[in-house]
Amino acid sequence: MVTMFRVDDGEQLVGIGDIAFQLKITRQAVDYWTRKDSRFPAPLQVINAPTGSGAKGTRVWRKREVDAWIVEHYRRRKQ
């Protein structure tokens, strides 16, 4: 069974590459945070994961949730 999420038309979704570009850091650094920082928002959904291929797919997040994490946690690390 596939779970579908309703996304508002005005809501933006982002992936690791988008977050890395926004912060001007590597995708590897963002991937690390998404997996190791328990405060990082959970992904909204995993897309492009072919059934039975073993591929992990692409995780996407709500931009507003990621932006809130950046303000609360990332910026504090940089100060």
Q: CB neighbours of 76 closer than 8 A, spacing ≥ 6?
A: none
| pLDDT tens digits along 21-52 | 999 999 999 999 999 999 999 999 988 877 76
Tokens 């991937």 appear where? 31
Task: Answer whether residue 77 shows pLDDT above 90.
Answer: no
6-42 burial string, b = 16+ CB within 10 Å, else e?
eeeeeeebbbbebbbeebeeeeeebeebbeeeeebee
Q: Which pLDDT does position 40 carry in this prediction?
A: 96
The overall pTM is greater than 0.85: no
Q: Which pLDDT does position 67 carry in this prediction?
A: 94
